[in-house]
Amino acid sequence: MFSARTIRSLLATKGYRLTAGRRAVVQAMLGGDDLFSVADIQRLVPRLGRATVFRTMKLLVDLDLVCRVRLEDGSLRYRLRVAPQHHHHLVCTGCGSVEDFSDCDVDAMSESVAGRTKYEIQGHRLEMYGLCPACRLSKASP
């Protein structure tokens, strides 16, 4: 998991400063829930403008410090990157927890789609939805 110091260092190596606005967003992310929305950050730091929060989130996503997670209802959440490599998300439809996984064969499918469509595939994102073990257990228990 990232710390404010790690994030500041990673921003610096990419040529970005940890401005007061960015610092406030990072502190809110580190002190909040695992999954959060832009609205959550704004509630935690009401003095920041919406545009500042959105720009900061975009930068952190672009730098692979934060992941976007699309929930089953279509809403967008963010979380600090846990897995350093390319990964996907398992989203529990019961409790909303998110787990990372990286062992999937989407690359082979991407190559096949690229071959058929002549697209140059530049990336993909995958979320799988289901019940985590704890929710399955509580659902099975009377």
What is the assigned CATH class of domain 1-82?
mainly alpha
pLDDT for the residue numbered 102: 80
pTM more than 0.85: no
User: Exposed/middle/buried for 12, CB within 10 Å: 0-12, 13-18, 19+?
Assistant: exposed
pLDDT for the residue numbered 83: 62
pLDDT for the residue numbered 130: 94
Where exactly does CATH 1.10.10.10 map onto the chain?
A: 1-82
CA distances from 115 to 11, 104, 108, 123 (A): 37, 20, 11, 15
Distance CA 73, CA 110 (A): 25
**Superfamily in which the 83-142 domain is placed by CATH:** Ferric-uptake regulator, C-terminal dimerisarion domain (3.30.1490.190)
Give the percent of the chain with pLDDT over 90: 49
Where exactly does CATH 3.30.1490.190 map onto the chain?
A: 83-142
Q: pLDDT by residue (tens digit) across 53-71? A: 999 999 999 988 898 999 8
pLDDT for the residue numbered 125: 81
pLDDT for the residue numbered 3: 79
Low-confidence ranges of the chain (pLDDT < 50): none
pLDDT for the residue numbered 110: 87
* Eight-state DSSP code of residue 132: -
pLDDT for the residue numbered 140: 77
